[in-house]
Structure 1
């Protein structure tokens, strides 16, 4: 299947990996030399990204959650570890909500659990609609240049931003816009209580330099307790830890999941 890339022996525990907005299944390749020794890694293009042309209804969280589980089940895998970054993390929370028995663990990297306040939802909807219009009206390089000026990407150097623009410039803006609006944070359910549905361990990785998501993680844990959510702060890291600090991320993830099978 073109929307999936797999690494590691199929007999190893399955680890499903969901990338962020504008990314693709190939974003995880940098981690494979290490992770594929311990896991059968299943990297999936989200709808509208890479080779995945699935159009989502709005809101699209339940649809994309079912889509992911269907693709993984089609590989003969019924239970798996789940890792999601940013948008992929928000979608991972909906997979956990709708298919709690499928998860062996849930790991989130810099992901928002959802808004509660209606005013915040309204403001986010306005912001996302503006970004969607820019996505539809600007050239991809111009859109990407604006996108990576956001504060959450301040840890990226000018050269790293340009590399991302070059890498992402061939995406289809209409497909991306469909996914972006259908999975808007303004439409996402409050997924913090999902932790109560799960019998598996739940981890949240964040960079200490990413103050926004560091606070989101701490507030979430304060509300639900250490037993429900294990926080893992990473020093000298920002929003996208796995891309900029692959060795640190891989070592941290392996320590948390504590795999018992090695290559």
Structure 2
């Protein structure tokens, strides 16, 4: 059974939100979001497997096991239902959590997230890519981080304040390469199941956020919103994949506004 490193921030609120980080980071990357939502929710910050203080290599698991483990965290604190917010990899995980346990999730907020790859052949192709990246990570982690930051997905971060980029780089360097590499092979996009087919049956409230420069994920979010029964989609101007890094003020304000709305 996975042993999650997590933190419950009790803000003396009636509702709780769980925050799930992206690849090569940890719960620390979501701390500003936690602070921004402190007036609205209690917050659970989680290190996903392979990152921060949560090990991946010790366990045989998949995305469904992660979802079950996240529910156990809430149950440990007597929380029956809660909201979830996830970024990128954390967004995939948040969607999996909602798909496996729809009765436990109130609102699901997905930042630059995908339900996975529905086509079996394309998923197998992605697994080959993820396997190569996994080997790259363990062979030369610093060189991999340079490659990762240079990906087109992150080119819009060039205008971000140096202090924030330095903090992001420092957090990535603090991850354990073997653990990060292992996580790719256990719940990366190439190996996780596709949740596309589940979308139309979900009654949960969804909020999909993408950056205006992230055309791939805009298309994914638009397709998702067409299938979901209750979905709001926002595209944030002049942002790429990591909206909460590139324009935190706009991001946190839109999320706060959504959480304050009555979506019933």
Same fold (TM over 0.5): yes
1:180 counterpart = 2:180: no
**C-alpha distance in structure 2 between counterparts of 1:88 and 1:198, whole Å:** 19
Structure 1 segments (4+ residues) deviating >4 Å: 158-163
Q: 1:19 corresponds to which residue?
A: 21
**C-alpha distance in structure 2 between counterparts of 1:79 and 1:146, whole Å:** 39
1:14-71 C-alpha deviation (Å, 9 max, x unpaired): 000100111111111122333101110111000111011244425x101111111111
1:89 counterpart = 2:91: yes
Q: 1:146 corresponds to which residue?
A: 147
RMSD between aligned residues:
2.1
The total of aligned residue pairs comes to 256
The one of 233, 240, 243 aligned to 2:242: 240
- Where does the alignment leave 5 or more consecutive residues of structure 2 unmatched? none
Taking the TM superposition and a 5 Å limit, the aligned residue runs for 1:95-174 are 95-138=97-140, 140-157=141-158, 159=162, 161-174=165-178
Deviates more, 1:76-85 or 1:229-238: 229-238
**C-alpha distance in structure 2 between counterparts of 1:237 and 1:246, whole Å:** 10
Q: 1:214 corresponds to which residue?
A: 218
What TM-score do the two structures reach when normalised by structure 1? 0.90
> 2:118–2:196: 8 Å Cα contact kept in structure 1?
no
What TM-score do the two structures reach when normalised by structure 2? 0.89
Q: 1:20 to 1:56 in 2, by over 3 A?
A: farther
Deviates more, 1:176-185 or 1:191-200: 191-200
1:109-153 C-alpha deviation (Å, 9 max, x unpaired): 101111122231122111101100001111x32221111111111
Shift of 1:245: 1.6
> 1:89–1:112: 8 Å Cα contact kept in structure 2?
yes
> SS in structure 1 opposite 2:156?
coil
> 1:195–1:228: 8 Å Cα contact kept in structure 2?
no
**C-alpha distance in structure 2 between counterparts of 1:249 and 1:11, whole Å:** 22
